[in-house]
Structure 1
């Protein structure tokens, strides 16, 4: 099966050696995504809801480039630095996935790559479902 690597244009992709998303056949995997803009600046410092919404905007673009949409998502993994703020993150997740209801995981981690980042999300999607 052909492999489609999808880039967000992030300056870190060639340094680290990763793609924003990869599609092989009917499987699309979106890498851990954070709330940073094109210049690498954090979106919504201190606000996990705003960060989560920004992340899903980036994830949505990557899914679209792979020929997928949020309705194809079967799993999300949310890594958060302050689990006590889970409701803000869950609210943003629900706004995107209310009727889709993928399998979802949320875990607290000690830190993300920048101290201002509070949320990182991975997504898996499957296309061509019967």
Structure 2
């Protein structure tokens, strides 16, 4: 079973040697997405809430390019730069992953250093039909 790269101009282009997502069989791993608007190349203005919304826009764009949706995601890993951002991040996250009663994905949240004003990054693992 071979693997294939997924890419879209509707999410920020990789800045190193990695794919926006890779599919092998019915497994799709989406690389970490950050709060950069792909149209402007700038970080979303408005703190962790605005960046989280942009992250989800980017995740959805990559999932869509692979023929998937947030409903196919079984695991997300969230990376925050500051523990003080957790409550605000979690509020937006909960709003964006609530799918009318669908089971939310499993999630891990860790605190890390991210480059150049980025406050949040999320990657996703999806299982496709």
State if a TM-score over 0.5 links the two structures: yes
- 1:123 aligns with 124
8 Å contact kept, 1:33–1:55: yes
Displacement after TM superposition at 1:44 (Å): 2.2
Structure 1 residue runs without a partner (length 5+): none
Say whether residues 1:19 and 2:19 are aligned partners: yes
Higher strand residue share: 2
Aligned position for 2:44 = 43
What is the TM-score normalised by the length of structure 1? Answer: 0.86
Q: Aligned partners of 1:44 and 1:125: how far apart in 2? A: 29
Q: What does the per-residue CA deviation read over 1:33-54, in whole Å, with 9 as the maximum and x for residues that have no partner? A: 1011224211125x11110111
Q: Shift of the alpha carbon at 1:93? A: 1.4
Name the SS for the 2:85 alignment partner.
helix
SS at match of 2:67: coil
In structure 2, runs of 5+ residues without a counterpart are none
4+ long deviations beyond 6 Å: none
